[in-house]
A and B are shown apart, each in its own frame.
Chain A
Amino acid sequence: MDGLKAALLLFVASILQVAVLTQYAAFRGASIVLVALLSIALLRGSVFGAIAGFGTGLLLDTATLGTLGVTSLLLTIAGFWIGRYGETTARDRFHAPFLSVAVVTVLFAFGQVLLQFMLGEPAPAGLVADGLPLALLLNLVLTLPIYALARRLFPPRQLEDRIGEVRLLG
């Protein structure tokens, strides 16, 4: 059920991102998809986050007729990493979604530059750096409502559900 809900949420976010958000030059830096994915990864863990990231990246690359796999790779790593953060240190901390979004927004932008560069495509890092402060601000503003929505859709697991995630020594 969680998988279906996540697929629906990320599909809607992707369509909004591609068809609506990019129409407004001022909001182009914002990534509603990235914020939604990180919120889900924080609440549902690394494997869930990685799979969701891969699927969402594939959807975005397909919709824009871009090079398949580029966004998938970045979102898979982002989903996995933030999922791990959620499983370990970030649980129930208020600042966790904001910190995750801030860090991943920066790394995602420069990850794209790196991949473009490695593919031999033009990779003007200066342009990305110029747009980064606005992108960061917009993503942080989006984090509050989107994380709240994700928390309603994916309520934090009870103790007995998540106890298996803790490695017991002895």
Chain B
Amino acid sequence: MPRNRTVRVAVLGSSVQRAATPGYTSNRSGAVKRRIVVAGLVLLSFVLITLSFRSSALDGVQGTAAGALRPFEIGADRVARPFRDAAGWVHGLADAKSQNAALRKQNEQLRQQLAQTQSAMKENAYLKQALDYHAAPTPADFGTVNAEVLANPQNPLEQTLTIAAGSNDGIAAGDVVRTPAGLVGVVDRASPSVARVRLLTDGDSNVNATDAAHPESVGIVSSGNGNSTLVLDNVQKSSYVGVGDVVMTAGTLGADALPSMFPRGIPIGVVTSETDNDIDPYHSIQLRPYVDFSSVQSVIVLVPHKGR
């Protein structure tokens, strides 16, 4: 060894080739294996998306699996319910006093309205019978299935609910879903024991609707910005819609070849604003829905009485 050689040179400058560490090949194969696994899973995801989105080949399997998960979801809901009720009780206590006074006043008004409405209903029934008048279907013409909500929307993009009833209960895609407060949406998919409901706030939902006070004002209710607003569109400027008016489903109008899937008379919401501009041929109307879409606990599915 030359005398001027340092330790550094001895270590770094050595021309002696060390044997490759055995771990190197195993790590390289580990990296390859890792890439194969993730690429396979990503590919499988794309295959599932394609199959699920473009065909109904996986619907049966998915429905059965969703049915198998139902007891777990119901169990978790039962466990959480006392806590939810307690939170609701505390929340309700805070504004109970102010609500009480307002509700007493409203109750008085409603009592007077009820007397008038009952009288009008009797008269209406008598006149319909006398004239042999055939009206559009109303919710009373349907059977009902009451169902618990298993899952509310997971995120702002998925405006759907999962309910604990399905085709075994007579529910099918296209059935109308409501709560006592108002319209919720339409059954989108039905498996034997669970069903998915597309909410009115979904971008693809459209409902033929009318102003209860001015039945000649007919338009289309669709989603607005967020789940606390709906839009009533396509109402001609010649028709009148006032702020505070109740908007309800219009049902089938006239002898239409394609009848509306929504029976007439289900409340949707109340008009909160109505504006016009020179460019738009229609009114610009916003509604506040009666249903709080952010926390629906149970729903009523309207099921046709006879064969579909």
Q: Do A and B come from one complex?
A: yes
* Docked-complex contact B37 and A47, CB < 8 angstroms: yes
> In the bound complex, do residue B80 and residue A19 qualify as a contact, i.e. CB atoms below 8 Å apart?
yes
Among residues 146 to 168 in chain A, which have CB atoms less than 8 Å away from a CB atom of chain B? 163-168
Instruction: Report Cα–Cα, A24/B24, bound state, in Å.
Output: 51
CB distance from A81 to the nearest CB of B (A): 9
Given A62-B62, A62-B66, verify A23-B73 contact (CB < 8 Å): no
State whether B42 touches A76 (Cβ < 8 A).
yes
Q: Using an 8 Å CB-CB cutoff, how does the interface string of A45-67 with B read, 1 for contact, 0 for none?
A: 01100110110011111111111
Q: CB of A72 within 8 A of chain B? A: yes
A52 and B304 alpha carbons, distance in the complex (Å): 43
- The answer to whether A73 touches B27, judged by C-beta atoms less than 8 angstroms apart, is no
Closest CB in chain A relative to B46 CB, distance in Å: 7
- The answer on a CB contact under 8 Å between B294 and A25 is yes
Would you call B244 an interface residue if the criterion is a C-beta within 8 Å of the partner chain's C-beta atoms? no
Per a CB cutoff under 8 Å, which of B30, B84, B153, B155 touches A24? B84
A109 close to chain B: CB less than 8 A: yes
- Docked Cα-Cα span, A23 to B259, in Å, equals 35
Contact (Cβ within 8 A) B23 A46: no
Question: Within the assembled complex, what's the spacing in Å between the Cα atoms of A59 and B69?
Answer: 9
A18-B151, A64-B154, A64-B196 known; A76 vs B24 contact (CB < 8 Å)? no
Query: Most B CB atoms within 10 A — which of A46, A50, A65, A166?
Result: A65
Q: Which B-chain residue is minimally distant from A25 (CB atoms)?
A: B294
Q: Which of A15, A29, A65 contacts B62 (CB 8 A)?
A: A65
What residue of chain A has the Cβ atom nearest to residue B80's Cβ?
A: A20
Cα distance A80–B225 in the bound complex, in angstroms: 35
Please state if A69 and B45 are interface contacts (CB–CB under 8 Å).
yes
CB atoms of A68 and B62 under 8 A apart: yes
CB distance from B36 to the nearest CB of A (A): 10
- Does B181 interact with chain A (Cβ within 8 Å)? no
* Contact assessment for B42 and A68 in the assembled complex, using a CB-CB cutoff below 8 Å: no
A166 to B189, CA, bound (A): 49
Task: From A15, A66, A127, give the contact of B76 (CB < 8 A).
Answer: A15
Could you say which residues of chain A place their CB within 8 Å of the CB of B42? 73, 76-77
Q: How far is the CB of A15 from chain B (nearest CB, A)?
A: 5
Within 8 A of B (CB), among A109-144: 109, 112-113, 116, 119, 121-124, 126-128, 130-131
Query: Measured between C-beta atoms, what is the minimum distance from B43 to chain A in Å?
Result: 10
**Contact with A72, one of B23, B48, B156 (Cβ below 8 angstroms):** B48
* Cross-chain contact A66 with B37 (CB below 8 angstroms): no
| A168 contacts B21, C-beta separation under 8 Å | yes
A16 interfacial contact with B, CB 8 Å: yes
Stretch at the interface among B50-58, B132-140, B268-276: B50-58
Given contacts A19-B150, A47-B34, contact A164 B49 (CB under 8 A): no
Known: A18-B73, A122-B157; 13 extra A-B contacts, CB below 8 A, are A28-B294, A54-B41, A64-B162, A66-B160, A76-B41, A76-B42, A124-B156, A127-B225, A165-B27, A165-B30, A166-B27, A170-B18, A170-B20
The 6 A-B pairs with the shortest beta carbon distances in the complex, nearest first, are: A122-B203, A69-B48, A25-B294, A73-B45, A69-B49, A68-B52
Residues on A close to B: CB < 8 A?
15-20, 22-25, 28-29, 46-47, 50-51, 53-54, 57-70, 72-73, 76-77, 80, 109, 112-113, 116, 119, 121-124, 126-128, 130-131, 163-170
